[in-house]
A and B are shown apart, each in its own frame.
Chain A
């Protein structure tokens, strides 16, 4: 795939150009291009387009950018590599095509990574999300020693066996952009590919937010309130799942409120991450919080299988 685009759109000069190139590549392959989920999540996997759609027998191919929040990774904007808010590019292909590795390498070439100039490697990384009750086998994909993507064959999601298995690719967009743009500090990334007065950097867009959110995450987030929010989200998730449960009188035993319930599961997970960053969760409590979120995720996953997109067929 040759790149026939203006210079300011080129991935080696433009952060947004990188995103657009990936969108083009995966759209051309046949993926739906979705938009980010409109809630705070820790990773692209939390988007219902991955968590829920990975379940059940129906084919599903989608790609999207997901802003991801890791409150603990905040560094007050002082670390050139670490951010509490960053972008993941997420591709989910169910079932995984047999040439997924080649497709992935093709996407790297599309953004200008020459595999005979750069050392691309698949290094063991068994992915696990204890909060989602999910695990899979795969790799960290290294480019010259830098982890630029995560490559996973989902085996289980929400505690449910994946049948068929979905392949998940997660690109760390900032890292990848730093790589192809050749900059050492994330805040120096050229965001729009323009030069001179028109140039906007990643720092112009996000530095202030990183500083403010670091203060919030580590010092000011109201922990008593967050603890309440956690309880509320947990209770609401259960209540919604309960309310949507198929009734014995239904012709088709279909669950009617999975997505709204799952939103509350996402919310609980993010609140937990904030509490964790504030250091108010001890090691043992940590386990029990993770377990509580996982129970919500499992219940949502099980409910999803009782819906049309989860493969429930009309009687």
Chain B
């Protein structure tokens, strides 16, 4: 069976797009081949910065001939029917049709249609140009003289050549001939840009890979990654260092070279006074180099870094390592400048006095100055939600309100809140926005803030998602809650809520953050009353309170489901007014424990039966008495159930008052026996209408008694 080799060679493809593009190419081509009636044994894609390649093995050389018969009308049918048949079968005259005989129907026309199979080359030549024209690059471009006209070919960068050969292993493969916008498929490619600039003629995948390798191109990206990782570890180890591994960077770097050569560079020890995270990000983001640590040195970095070159340099890489070292030094000089500038005075302190007074800031301290400037510059948070300064004021007020609820020192909370956003005005965060919070903490410690205040600068952004750590320090908790609740109420007040997949302000994440902080820290909080305070800051927000609460209910449900809680139990305990998330969770837990017992299961069955009967009778408009009349009881079981319901309702109500949900459940579970006996011994549908109405009223009492704990009708099973 023949094999297909396809290579699309272009100018340098962005590293981050290569893997997916090669996969797309395989999928699009193999899908197309199969759809055209071909089969293949195996297909694998490859890529380098300058090429996407595809190796398809065991492709059928032709698609099968297709024969089909289309039955037509009787030979005696009117002309109109015959014409219809000709059109349908695609025949030009009835003479082309065959006549078949049937003992019952007599003679009728049949069209014999035969579609001959097509050569694979022909199918490939037709498919590939279409795939190239419709290729799903995230961004594509036009180029050269052809771009003067509309509709010219687009590719990620200029497409230079196409290799497309096809043939069995035992024969000389043929070039599949096609052309797209002046690029004609052939069997010529090029190796490494500098090491092997000459043309290479290839036959099939095996010699293609070998010839590329000889021309200093490692075609397989995963092999390039292995080479880089292996050599980087070795060179680090040989120098008494450990490589700080970074899969994302490794993937990117493997997409920047065709012939990876690992080298080591260095910078001055002095730069190690910069926080390690800043050094790593500086070197990674700008230079795509790996950092190292002295062996066994914990988190500290060493002053040597690892770079990956694309050439085997004449001097063994000395110039390259030296040059890279220079650039890294320049970048670190910038980082050091930012780091030091952030710890020094701002030039225009006099202008900042008013803002400083507003937040009770000490203008002798660098971070205080940054907060004053954040306010002074009127930096906008959101066009409809005002400035960052105003936002910090709101967060501070709300955090102070929350301080006693979460058990935090209000003075520390106030200080933490006014410093929490100050690092947005630092140079380091300007350069690396992902370090917001982390830098605030470092600078706060450097100016001697209380450890909790410093921690809050970082932790108030947490948790960032379902798996991020939840802050536990009460100061962090107060500021984190205030920050998130301010954001949520603000966006609700201006009606910028998440819709479908759109959540540009990450409001779902903020609400989930509140949920996790409250529940994982076991904090009781009435959201409705906090909303009232927070909404008071915004015009027209108050009527959004119940909508926002419902949004929290959804987040809570999602969170509890992820924790393995039954969604029906959550639905059973949540009412539109439930505004204490921890209480909801406790109810769910208690309900779950109850339903794990025999009593609970039977009680559930009994209450459901009661509810079903009631529902059926209510539908039939059967009279249900307003209240239960003991005088109308005929059976002992009725009396017992009535007494038990009254008792259980009272005890459960009491327990709920005391927030003892287990006790409430226990009180209800006592109902199991009388409910069972009632259904065993009493016929609800008594002939006496008054008795029947009274019995139905008793069943309704079961529902009201249980409703105060949970809506049993929502529980499944």
Binds A, one of B271-279, B308-316, B450-458, B571-579: B308-316
Main secondary structure on chain B at its contact with chain A?
loop
Chain B residues, CB < 8 A from A144: 319-320, 322-324, 326-327
Q: Which of A80, A119, A163 contacts B309 (CB 8 A)?
A: A119
**B231-288 with Cβ < 8 A to chain A:** 256-257, 287-288
Q: Which of B140, B310, B314, B387 contacts A121 (CB 8 A)?
A: B310
Q: Provide the bound-state CA to CA distance between A115 and B49, in Å.
A: 17
Residue of A nearest to B155 (CB): A137
In the assembled complex, the CB of A220 is this many whole angstroms from the nearest CB of chain B, namely 11
Q: Provide the bound-state CA to CA distance between A203 and B288, in Å.
A: 31
Query: A162-183 CB contact bits vs B (8 Å, 1 = yes)?
Result: 1111010000000000010000
Number of A-B contacts (CB under 8 A): 128
Decide if B106 is an interface residue (CB 8 Å cutoff). Answer: no
Whether the pair A118, B313 counts as a contact (CB closer than 8 A) is: yes
Decide if A6 is an interface residue (CB 8 Å cutoff). Answer: no
Q: Provide the bound-state CA to CA distance between A126 and B141, in Å.
A: 11
Knowing A80-B330, A117-B314, A124-B15, say if A96 contacts B144 (CB, 8 Å): yes
Chain A residues, CB < 8 A from B323: 118-119, 143-146, 179
Knowing A144-B324, A165-B142, say if A118 contacts B319 (CB, 8 Å): yes
Decide if B337 is an interface residue (CB 8 Å cutoff). Answer: yes
Whether the pair A123, B148 counts as a contact (CB closer than 8 A) is: no
Knowing A153-B141, A284-B380, say if A165 contacts B147 (CB, 8 Å): yes
Whether the pair A124, B14 counts as a contact (CB closer than 8 A) is: yes
Query: A281-299 CB contact bits vs B (8 Å, 1 = yes)?
Result: 0111100000000000000
Q: Provide the bound-state CA to CA distance between A116 and B192, in Å.
A: 11
Chain A residues, CB < 8 A from B502: none
Q: Provide the bound-state CA to CA distance between A191 and B14, in Å.
A: 36
Knowing A118-B320, A219-B347, say if A145 contacts B328 (CB, 8 Å): yes
Chain A residues, CB < 8 A from B307: 145
**Chain B: number of interface residues, binned into ranges:** 35 or more
In the assembled complex, the CB of A279 is this many whole angstroms from the nearest CB of chain B, namely 6
Residue of A nearest to B15 (CB): A124
Q: Provide the bound-state CA to CA distance between A121 and B311, in Å.
A: 10
Chain A residues, CB < 8 A from B193: 115
Knowing A146-B327, A283-B379, say if A116 contacts B311 (CB, 8 Å): yes
Whether the pair A218, B147 counts as a contact (CB closer than 8 A) is: no
**Chain A: number of interface residues, binned into ranges:** 35 or more
**B291-343 with Cβ < 8 A to chain A:** 307, 309-311, 313-315, 319-320, 322-324, 326-330, 333-334, 337
Decide if A273 is an interface residue (CB 8 Å cutoff). Answer: no
In the assembled complex, the CB of A229 is this many whole angstroms from the nearest CB of chain B, namely 21
Whether the pair A115, B148 counts as a contact (CB closer than 8 A) is: no
Decide if B717 is an interface residue (CB 8 Å cutoff). Answer: no
In the assembled complex, the CB of A239 is this many whole angstroms from the nearest CB of chain B, namely 30
Residue of A nearest to B146 (CB): A164
Knowing A75-B337, A101-B11, A145-B327, say if A115 contacts B194 (CB, 8 Å): yes
Whether the pair B11, A282 counts as a contact (CB closer than 8 A) is: no
Chain B residues, CB < 8 A from A95: 144-145, 147-148
Decide if B149 is an interface residue (CB 8 Å cutoff). Answer: yes
Q: Provide the bound-state CA to CA distance between A123 and B255, in Å.
A: 10
Decide if B621 is an interface residue (CB 8 Å cutoff). Answer: no
Q: Provide the bound-state CA to CA distance between A204 and B486, in Å.
A: 55
Chain B residues, CB < 8 A from A11: none
**A151-165 with Cβ < 8 A to chain B:** 153, 155, 162-165
Decide if B158 is an interface residue (CB 8 Å cutoff). Answer: yes
In the assembled complex, the CB of A297 is this many whole angstroms from the nearest CB of chain B, namely 21
Extra pairs beyond A139-B12, A145-B289 (18, CB < 8 Å): A79-B333, A81-B334, A95-B148, A119-B311, A137-B156, A138-B157, A143-B323, A144-B320, A145-B287, A146-B323, A153-B158, A163-B149, A164-B146, A167-B143, A184-B326, A279-B377, A282-B377, A282-B380
- Please name the 5 residue pairs, one residue from A and one from B, whose CB atoms are nearest each other, closest first: A144-B323, A124-B14, A284-B380, A145-B324, A164-B148
5 contacts between A and B (CB under 8 A): A95-B148, A145-B287, A145-B289, A163-B149, A165-B141
Residues of A in contact with B (beta carbons under 8 Å apart): 57, 75, 79-82, 95-98, 101, 114-124, 126, 136-139, 143-146, 153, 155, 162-165, 167, 179, 184, 218-219, 279-280, 282-285
